[in-house]
Amino acid sequence: MQPEGADDLDVLFPKDKTVRVNGEDIKFTEYGFYAGLLIRNAAKGFIQELASVLKCHESEMLDKVDTAFENHAGVIIECVAMACGKTSQWVMSLDEKDGRAVDNAWWEICSPFFVRCAKRSLHSAKTQKMDVGQMCGEHSSITDTAPTE
């Protein structure tokens, strides 16, 4: 028997989830390292748009995430298929109810991956901007901004 609370992280941050679709149990799993490499490359546009969403006011985020999904539907379908071991054709064939169940399960399991990628993108962009500014002499110091007489 496990000590009480031993599975708290698994409950808060599950690594997989099973949903029933057309009488079949479909298991969604978090992307592994190498699958993540493929996804990061294929989903660059989605990740960049998600990074811009992270900079928005919280009240705007839901609409902007929905827009990001719509703008990158093709890659989202591929990402969903990879997470559940099905084909993109299978994902495309789902009706509204099953499609929403699949989408919700996928996002619950895989959103931490995409948020990490988006945050990394933001950090990388900020670091690159600082590096370019320093290379071009665009740094400030007290002596740079103090008036001279």
**Residue 66: domain span:** 50-123
Yes or no: say if 31 and 39 are a contact pair by the CB < 8 Å rule: yes
Over range 57-77, report the average pLDDT: 93
Residue reference for tokens 């929905």: 66
CA distance 128 to 147: 30
Q: pLDDT tens-digit profile of 128-140? A: 555 555 545 554 4
Does 65 reside within a domain? yes
Yes or no: say if 43 and 79 are a contact pair by the CB < 8 Å rule: yes
Number of domains in the chain: 1
Does 135 reside within a domain? no
The answer, yes or no, to whether residue 147 has pLDDT greater than 90, is no
Over range 100-123, report the average pLDDT: 94
- Give the angle subtended at the CA of 101 by the CAs of 95 and 107, to the nearest 5°: 125
The answer, yes or no, to whether residue 124 has pLDDT greater than 70, is yes
Q: Please state, rounded to an integer, the average pLDDT across all residues of the chain.
A: 84
Does 86 reside within a domain? yes
pTM score of the predicted model: 0.75
Does 102 reside within a domain? yes
CA distance 132 to 39: 28
Residues above pLDDT 90, as percent of the chain: 65
CA distance 61 to 53: 6
